[in-house]
Amino acid sequence: MTTEEQDILSDFGNRLRKLRIEKGFSQEKFADLTQLDRTYVSGLERGKRNPSYLILLKIAKSLNISVKDLF
């Protein structure tokens, strides 16, 4: 993975964490809402996971936002 790609994932993770906290969700609660494992959510927030479009849709739906608002 290039540095640029890693920066993109890191930026996404920071944005996801911010949105999750703004909604008042713990990682555990958010994982339940999105039907994802808590460790996967943690990996996303740390920029260690590259989510598919379907995962992005689940995340956006759980946060009640559009996918574009994740970026």
Q: Is residue 27 part of a domain?
A: yes
- The number of folded domains in the chain is 1
Question: What token pair was written down for 21?
Answer: 């906290």
What is the pLDDT at residue 1? 85
Verdict on whether the full-model pTM lies above 0.95: no
Q: Is residue 71 part of a domain?
A: no
What is the pLDDT at residue 34? 97
Cα 70 to Cα 14, 19, 43, distances in angstroms: 10, 8, 16
Q: What is the pLDDT along the chain (71 residues), one digit of tens a residue?
A: 899 999 999 999 999 999 999 999 999 999 999 999 999 999 999 999 999 999 999 999 999 999 999 99
Task: Find out whether 67 and 8 touch, Cβ atoms under 8 Å.
Answer: no
Q: Is residue 68 part of a domain?
A: no
Task: Find out whether 41 and 29 touch, Cβ atoms under 8 Å.
Answer: no
